[in-house]
Structure 1
Amino acid sequence: MNVCPYLEYAFSILGKKWNGLIIHYLSLCPDHSAHFSEIKRDLSEITSRALSLKLAELAEFGLIEKKVTNGTPVVISYELTEKGRSLTLALEPVQQWALRNKQV
């Protein structure tokens, strides 16, 4: 039996620690955008190095975009792309399932 390649692709992204939570976090932010320091503050368990690596990885998948605004100081933010926003819609039923089934 073969595993569905599309499901395998989805889990290659979501199966990695922090990826789903970062995507979910950005989906809750105004304009689906946040600064590194905001993400780090609110996902306090992730190290700065791990967050940097995860943000770069999610950008490679085309789920987020790093936005650089030149000025003094330079402002860097991370924003969900259209592809990333569509993934958040797919995560909503998973969140509802977890809400119904998680043992406390």
Structure 2
Amino acid sequence: MEVCPYLEETFKVIGRSWNGLIINYLSRCPESSAHFSDMKKDLKPITPRALSLKLTELMDWDLVDKNIISKAPLSIVYQLTEKGEALAEALKPMEEWAQKYVELENNQAEV
């Protein structure tokens, strides 16, 4: 018996470091969007370089859009696409499972 090729491809996306967490983070933000600086601050301990690479990767998969707001001062916002929103929704049952069965270390806050 083979593994589902669609599921295998999905895990190639969300199984890479930070990708699933970035998708989950954006899905919790107002309008599923956030500034780079907010993501860097909240997604500790990701480095700015790693965050930039991951956002580019997610844009290549059409899961995240980069929106440049040209009002002064210039602002860049990253937002989940429709495809990214659908993936975030698909991850919710995994989050519920984790809340039920995964034990967190004492220093990690619950969501």
Query: For the superposition of Structure 1 and Structure 2, which TM-score range results when normalised by the shorter chain?
Result: over 0.9
The match for 1:89 is: 89
How many positions carry a matched residue from both structures? 104
Query: What letter matches 1:60 in structure 2?
Result: D
Query: What letter matches 2:90 in structure 1?
Result: A
For 1:44 and 1:96, locate their aligned partners in 2 and report how far apart those are by CA, in whole Å.
22
- Name stretches of at least 5 consecutive residues in structure 1 with no aligned partner: none
Aligned to 1:77, what secondary structure does the other structure show?
A: strand
- Which 4+ residue blocks in structure 1 deviate beyond 3 angstroms? none
- State the 1:63 CA deviation: 0.4
What pairs with 1:44-59 in structure 2 (closer than 5 Å)?
Answer: 44-59=44-59
- State the 1:44 CA deviation: 1.8
For 1:103 and 1:42, locate their aligned partners in 2 and report how far apart those are by CA, in whole Å.
21
- State the 1:72 CA deviation: 2.3
- Report Cα offsets for 1:46-92 as digits up to 9, x if no partner: 00000000000000000000001113221111000000001111101
The match for 2:24 is: 24
For 1:101 and 1:52, locate their aligned partners in 2 and report how far apart those are by CA, in whole Å.
32
The match for 1:9 is: 9
- Name stretches of at least 5 consecutive residues in structure 2 with no aligned partner: 105-111
Same amino acid, percent of matched pairs: 53
TM-score by length of 1: 0.95
Query: What letter matches 1:74 in structure 2?
Result: L
For 1:84 and 1:57, locate their aligned partners in 2 and report how far apart those are by CA, in whole Å.
12
For 2:92 and 2:74, locate their aligned partners in 1 and report how far apart those are by CA, in whole Å.
34
- State the 1:3 CA deviation: 1.9
Q: CA RMSD in A?
A: 1.0
For 2:11 and 2:28, locate their aligned partners in 1 and report how far apart those are by CA, in whole Å.
22
